[in-house]
Amino acid sequence: MQTILLPMFPLRLVAFPGELLNLHIFEPRYKQLISECEAKGTTFGISAFIEDKVQEIGTEIELISIDKVYPKGEMDIRTRGIGLFKVLEFLPQLENRLYTGAEILRLPHDLEGEFVKNERILEHMGELYRIMNITKPLPEHSPDFTTYQIAHLVGFSLEQEYEFLCIPEEIQRQEYMLTHLERLLPTAREMEELRQKVQMNGHFKNVLPPEV
């Protein structure tokens, strides 16, 4: 497969294919990167920065728009994840540029999951939201629904989000997410029971004594 040289924007976050990501750009090196993306229509890469190193798998990002430019050149931008890549060689600085780059190989990512698994995922998320009193609406279970759409909403740690990003098949991502939710829900139920007990402390209790 053909490799390409891609400008890089390492961040302490994981971006997913299809994700809409809004960023505030303030460092000179990344102001230069975004200005060149706008002028040339090029893309850049976001790789998660975890444990003081740039991770091997990242997401290629396209610039949608620069919404605002501040007096000192800072920018508010809108972007979208368009695909996955593997870093073959990380370059701390590209020639005649302020920003970093990498020799990368674009990777395929499958989006075909199982309808029933998506139903279970959304049911578990619904229960989790009810337990935690989260009023944010759940995504609709539409034909184009994928687990990427909710990967930031299910309580993954940064490391788990990166593990999830590295899974190439949607069915495997569904299984990973279901396993996570099925482990998380009992803990959430226990915490809610504890919260209710704490709230009841000091209240008059109507308790039937046992027959002894």
Q: At what angle do helices 170-200 and 115-131 cross, to 10 degrees?
A: 20
Cα distances from 58 to residues 36, 52, 210, in angstroms, run 20, 16, 61
Band of the pLDDT at 198, cuts 50, 70, 90?
low
Strand partners, 66: 77
What is the CB-side half-sphere exposure of residue 52 using CA atoms within 13 A?
A: 0
Kindly report the pTM of this predicted structure: 0.86
Reduce the DSSP state of residue 71 to 3 states and report it. Answer: coil
| Conformation bin of residue 86: beta by default, left when phi > 0, alpha when psi is -120 to 50 | beta
Tokens representing 194 are: 């504890």
Kind and range of the H or E element at 190? Answer: helix 170-200
List of domains in the chain: 3-107 (2.30.130.40), 115-200 (no CATH)
Choose the weakest-confidence range: 2-16, 29-43, 113-127, 195-209.
195-209
Q: Pairing state of beta strands 53-69 and 75-91?
A: antiparallel
Count Cβ neighbours within 10 Å for each residue of 51-89 and write b for 16 or more, e otherwise: eeebbbbbbbbebeeeeeeeeeeebebebbbebbbbbee
pLDDT in tens, 92-112: 989 999 999 999 999 998 999
Tally the residues of the chain. Answer: 212
Q: Which segments of 95-169 does DSSP mark as H helices, in order?
A: 115-131, 158-165
pLDDT in tens, 1-50: 679 999 999 999 999 999 999 999 999 999 999 999 999 999 999 999 99
